[in-house]
Structure 1
Amino acid sequence: MTELHPVVTSSSETAPTRFLATEHRLLVPVSKTGGVLSMFDAGVVPAGFAPPPHLHLREHELFIVSAGAVRFTAGSTVTVVEGSGAAWLPARLAHNFEVLADARMYVITVPCLAGGVGGDFERFVHAVSAATSGPEVGAAQTAELVAQIGAAHDIPIVGPSPALPGSA
């Protein structure tokens, strides 16, 4: 077993990674937790942002909202977090969210299989960033890239993107 050490990181200490309409900062990399979890500071996610419905095959996802308003849809459950709160989205459950008012958000992913190693979402964020940086990439091409990269990282897209500004 890998010996674990504390990880204490300030958002200002990490470089931003452009991820769709957001800038994610990796606060706790999966490599520093023995595969137990990873955590991103998603910064202020703009109103109107909504990823396509998707699921994570091997990771649970925990969103922490510290300001703003976000509607989470997970399976048949629809809940709005206003101000501050959290949403736990289990692996293999189709979900998405819609930012109703600019929201300060954090994302934590945890492997769902005993002895599993996380990092699917962490690698997905970096791959999407690399594929969509550079010359202007249109919305249709971005959606196609997100679907391809998601499938390669066990995060399949299971529905169309909502027709909202800033959507993937």
Structure 2
Amino acid sequence: MSMAYLAQPQQQQKLEWLDGGVFAVLLDSAATDGQLTVGRFTVAKGEAPPYHLHTREDEVFMLLKGSALIWSDDQEMELSEGGIVFLPKNVPHGYRITSDTADLLMICTPAGIEGMFRHAGRDLTTPRPDGFQISPDLLAEAADTYGQIIVGPPR
């Protein structure tokens, strides 16, 4: 049985992610008894992860601010502020931010994907090493470890 969990913004882990974006871990496996992960991305125009699929979890994205192109399998869709998309496991997908900045809420069930972000990202409470970047090899290693399959480059 899960217990109620509360974390104020200053208590939420923030990680440097792709293209200098920030991923905040709002709820993780430990907080939800493995049931779901909730995260929030703050990113800039052009941010785009590799085209990928999840083998373990379904994903929901809600675009709180900004605009993006979303690809799911063979469909291309525009997502505007307030829009939401469901991305089932084992379906290839990706996105590209088209606005100057964007704020995205991500919910994945079951939990566990936060491990990938922690594996490859950099905790913002630690000093930034010179030249820090998430290399394609590190991203591929993190993806593989946490059940993600990279199927192509960003779109």
Specify if TM > 0.5: yes
Tell me which residue corresponds to 2:37: 38
Provide the residue aligned with 2:140 in structure 1: 147
Counterpart amino acid of residue 88 in structure 1? F
Unaligned 5+ runs, structure 1: 112-117, 163-168
What is the aligned-residue RMSD (CA, Å)? 1.9
| Structure 1 residue matching 2:136: 3-state secondary structure | helix
Q: Please, what TM-score do these two structures have when normalized by structure 2?
A: 0.87
SS at match of 1:84: coil
Within the candidate set 131, 134, 148, 2:129 is matched to 134
Give the equivalent residue in structure 2 for 1:125. Answer: 117
* Greater alpha carbon shift after TM alignment, 57-66 vs 6-15: 6-15
8 Å contact kept, 1:10–1:27: no
Cα distance, 1:13 vs structure 2: 3.0
1:53-132 aligned within 5 A:
53-101=51-99, 102-111=101-110, 118-119=111-112, 121-130=113-122
After superposition, the C-alpha distances for 1:20-55 in whole angstroms (9 at most, x for unaligned) are 22111111111111111011121x211101111011
Partners of 1:45 and 1:137 lie apart in 2 by 17
- Would the alpha carbon gap of residues 65 and 10 (structure 1) be closer, same or farther in structure 2, given more than 3 Å must change? farther
> How high is the TM-score relative to the length of structure 1?
0.81
Aligned residues: 149
